[in-house]
């Protein structure tokens, strides 16, 4: 057999996937490692997809998506995200991951570099490699509240740096950037003439603070914004997302999609159309469910004197388990799953700066969440120390 390509070998095995697959081999596991809401998908979204099948809407769609969906999303972006776009700036992708790939294909080429958050979503490190580019992690540190520091970013810029990826609200941290932080990041991108790829898949899931799309601060067409229907509406298996570009990129994005997926499956696009045009009550109910879960989770962790980052958005708790991991959180998470039947995502799945931490998804069943966290080993209290969750 011929040898596999260098590209095929450039992708590390997913630590989250390893935990997930191991959990499938065990009985009665509490699943807290995967970022998937467990609330039912709203009925009108399901019915729209079923109706599209029934009515024979199963032919090829345009590369950038059906026009009714693109028009609806242009309206949504203009009104909710607060930057004006036309339908020809909307490009439907097979989930947020494919939309991210489109963005990186537009911004990067062989030998280029992109600055990505560390800790950050594992796909941020993998996708650049598919276009021959190199991800360079920029550190997000606890002592700075996991907010990127401009001096750190500047120290990483080389002649090959072509883009920076921003993620707010963030996975795995739940950090939401304040306006002054976003302004500074956009100024940095302008100073070094970088593309800004903005992952905004958790745009609706903000508990504290203001959600800001970087494109609202973009005055020279450098922002590529990525969105998804997976987290907001729970249709993770529907695989619908979208990319918003500056004007004039329709033909290039269409060519990229033709070479990759041709088009997103048509019935799923009609489900997405029903989601964005239909009632948003279920989105608000989901947000309240997550708020309740977060409050319950914090109670458990506080009682155990365990440090954590209080999320301002998204659906994750980033928990400091360095008192128990022995310097190897990946091995510890696997052993914890085997011994205590709780699946946690090791922090190193999100970059080297995640060592000692674990990510927990709090979007699922409340009782499972509380029970799973109650099995974590408490952090010993030192002297007269008061338990303090990290804000």
Is 382 domain-assigned?
Answer: no
> Are residues 251 and 311 part of one domain?
no
Q: Which two tokens stand for residue 75?
A: 């309206």
The answer to whether residues 200 and 227 touch, using CB atoms and an 8 Å cutoff, is yes
CA 163 to chain CA centroid, nearest Å: 18
How many other CB atoms are found less than 10 A from the CB of residue 16? 20
Range of the domain at 349: 6-40+281-375
Q: How many domains does the chain have?
A: 2
> Are residues 74 and 198 part of one domain?
yes
> Are residues 333 and 184 part of one domain?
no
Is 389 domain-assigned?
Answer: no
> Are residues 271 and 290 part of one domain?
no
Q: What is the pLDDT of residues 319-365, one digit of tens each?
A: 999 999 999 999 999 999 999 999 999 999 999 999 999 999 999 99
| Section 157-163 average pLDDT | 99
Is 312 domain-assigned?
Answer: yes
**Among the three residues 242, 261, 278, which one is the final residue of a domain in this structure?**
278
What are the helix (H) ranges across the chain?
6-9, 15-24, 43-54, 67-76, 95-107, 122-126, 150-156, 179-191, 230-233, 250-260, 266-277, 281-303, 322-325, 329-340, 366-374
The answer to whether residues 328 and 254 touch, using CB atoms and an 8 Å cutoff, is no
> Are residues 178 and 287 part of one domain?
no
Is 45 domain-assigned?
Answer: no
How much is the mean pLDDT over the chain?
A: 95
Query: Does position 9 have pLDDT exceeding 90, yes or no?
Result: no
Q: Which residues pair with 342 in a beta bridge?
A: 30
**Among the three residues 278, 296, 324, which one is the final residue of a domain in this structure?**
278
Question: Domain holding 195: CATH number?
Answer: 3.40.640.10
Q: pTM for the whole thing?
A: 0.94
> Are residues 20 and 72 part of one domain?
no
The crossing angle, in degrees rounded to 10, of helices 67-76 and 266-277 is 30
Query: Does position 387 have pLDDT exceeding 60, yes or no?
Result: no
Question: Domain holding 359: CATH number?
Answer: 3.90.1150.10
Is 386 domain-assigned?
Answer: no
Query: Does position 390 have pLDDT exceeding 60, yes or no?
Result: no
Give the Cα separation of 201 and 205 in Å (integer).
9
Report which of 47, 39, 90 is spatially closest to residue 68, judged by C-alpha positions: 90
Q: Which two tokens stand for residue 370?
A: 């509380």
Backbone angles phi, psi at 193, to 5 degrees: 50, 55
Query: What pLDDT, on a 0 to 100 scale, did the predictor assign at position 381?
Result: 83
Query: Does position 388 have pLDDT exceeding 70, yes or no?
Result: no
Longest Cα–Cα distance in the chain: 70
Give the Cα separation of 247 and 388 in Å (integer).
48
Q: Which two tokens stand for residue 297?
A: 């989770």
Q: What is the pLDDT of residues 73-89, one digit of tens each?
A: 999 999 999 999 999 99
Is 298 domain-assigned?
Answer: yes
Q: Which two tokens stand for residue 130?
A: 């598919």
> Are residues 84 and 110 part of one domain?
yes
For the chain, report the end-to-end CA distance as a whole number of angstroms: 54
Q: Which residues pair with 246 in a beta bridge?
A: none
Phi/psi class of residue 146: alpha, beta or left (left: φ > 0; alpha: ψ in -120 to 50)? left
> Are residues 238 and 299 part of one domain?
no
**Among the three residues 278, 313, 337, which one is the final residue of a domain in this structure?**
278
> Are residues 210 and 85 part of one domain?
yes
Q: What is the pLDDT of residues 283-327, one digit of tens each?
A: 999 999 999 999 999 999 999 999 999 999 999 999 999 999 999
Give the Cα separation of 210 and 280 in Å (integer).
19
Q: What is the pLDDT of residues 222-273, one digit of tens each?
A: 999 999 999 999 899 899 999 999 999 999 999 999 999 999 999 999 999 9
Q: Do β-strands 195-199 and 223-228 pair in parallel, antiparallel, or remain unpaired?
A: parallel
> Are residues 300 and 253 part of one domain?
no
> Are residues 190 and 123 part of one domain?
yes
> Are residues 218 and 128 part of one domain?
yes
């Amino acid at each position: 057999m011929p040898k596999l390509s260098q590209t095929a070998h450039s992708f590390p095995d997913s630590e989250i996937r390893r935990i997930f697959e191991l959990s499938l081999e065990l009985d009665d596991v509490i699943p807290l490692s995967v970022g998937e809401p467990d609330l039912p998908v709203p009925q009108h979204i399901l019915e729209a997809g079923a109706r599209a099948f029934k009515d024979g809407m199963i032919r090829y769609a345009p590369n950038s998506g059906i026009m009714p969906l693109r028009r609806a999303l242009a309206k949504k972006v203009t009104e909710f995200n607060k930057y004006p776009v036309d339908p020809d700036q909307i490009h439907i992708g097979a989930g947020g991951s494919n939309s991210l790939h489109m963005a990186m294909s537009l911004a990067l080429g062989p030998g280029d570099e992109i600055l990505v958050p560390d800790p950050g979503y594992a796909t941020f490190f993998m996708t650049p490699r598919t276009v021959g580019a190199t991800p360079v992690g920029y550190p997000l540190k606890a002592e700075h509240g996991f907010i990127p520091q401009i001096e750190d970013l500047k120290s990483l810029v080389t002649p090959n740096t072509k883009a920076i990826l921003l993620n707010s609200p963030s996975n795995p941290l739940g950090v939401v950037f304040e306006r002054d932080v976003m302004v500074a990041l956009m100024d940095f991108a302008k100073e070094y003439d970088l593309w800004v790829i903005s992952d905004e898949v958790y745009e609706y899931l903000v508990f504290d603070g203001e959600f800001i799309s970087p494109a609202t601060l973009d005055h020279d067409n450098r922002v590529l914004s990525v969105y998804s229907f997976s987290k907001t509406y729970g249709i993770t298996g529907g695989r619908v997302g979208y990319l918003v570009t500056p004007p004039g990129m329709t033909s290039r994005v269409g060519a990229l999609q033709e070479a990759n997926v041709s088009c997103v499956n048509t019935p799923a696009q009609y489900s997405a159309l029903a989601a964005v045009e239909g009632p948003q009550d279920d989105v608000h109910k989901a947000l309240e469910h997550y708020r309740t879960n977060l409050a319950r989770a914090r109670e458990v962790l506080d009682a155990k004197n365990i440090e954590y980052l209080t999320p301002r958005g998204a659906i994750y708790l980033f928990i400091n388990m360095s008192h128990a991991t022995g310097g190897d959180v990946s091995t510890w998470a696997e052993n914890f799953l085997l011994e205590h039947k709780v699946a946690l995502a090791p922090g190193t799945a999100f970059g080297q700066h995640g060592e000692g931490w674990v990510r927990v998804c709090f979007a699922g069943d409340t009782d499972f969440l509380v029970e799973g966290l109650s099995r974590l080993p408490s952090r010993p209290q030192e002297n007269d120390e008061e338990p303090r969750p990290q804000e």
